[in-house]
Amino acid sequence: MKIYDESKTKELADFDLNKGYLKSDKILIAHHDAVEEDKGEWHYEVVAEYPNGGKDLKIVYDRKPVLAASAYDEYEDIAVYIKYGDDELAQIEIEELKRKLLETDYIVCKLYEAGLGGSLSLEQLKKEYAEKLASRAEWRNRINTLETKLYADKKGDI
C-alpha cells in the first residue's frame, strides 16, 4: 500500500510512526465518463456456399456494439501519514514515562519494606537501585514539565 503525506500529493518512503500515525484513505486514479449504448454496425459475410444454394454466413462488425455504462471514479486504497501535534507528542511522552514509573514501582515497595525493618538494609537497596531511582526522578520531573506546559497551552498562557 502506498503512503502519502497529509495533502495526498507526495508519496512517502520514510516516516516516523513515533511522531505520527497512518490513516486509511483512498486516492482518485481515474474518472470514467458515462458511455451510451451503441448497437454497432455489421454485415454478413459468406463463409461457404453449397450446391443446393445454401450458404454459411458470419457476422462481421464494422463497428463493435457497446453496452451502456454509468460514469464512475476509480480509486486506489492508500494510507495517509498524519503528524502528531506538539500537545499529542507531549501526551504520548507523558504516558510512556508514567508506564516506566509503574514498571519500577516495585523498587519503592522494597525501599519502604526495608525502612520498616525488612531483610535487606535500606542503604543496600539504595545502592542497588541508584540508577533506577535517578531515572524515576528524571521521569517525574519530565512529566511535571510537560504537564505544566500542556496546562499553560490550554489556558493560553504561552
**Do 143 and 94 meet the contact criterion of CB atoms below 8 Å apart?**
yes
Sequence-ordered list of residues with C-beta below 8 angstroms from that of 88, at least 6 positions apart, any chain = none
Q: Which three cell numbers stand for residue 46?
A: 459468406
- Note the pTM of the prediction, 2 decimals: 0.61
Domain ranges of the chain: 1-34+72-83, 36-69, 86-155
**Do 29 and 76 meet the contact criterion of CB atoms below 8 Å apart?**
yes
User: What is the residue-level pLDDT of the chain in tens, covering all 158 positions?
Assistant: 999 999 999 999 999 999 999 999 999 999 999 999 999 999 999 999 999 999 999 999 999 999 999 999 999 999 999 999 999 999 999 999 999 999 999 999 888 888 887 666 888 888 999 999 999 999 999 999 999 988 887 776 55
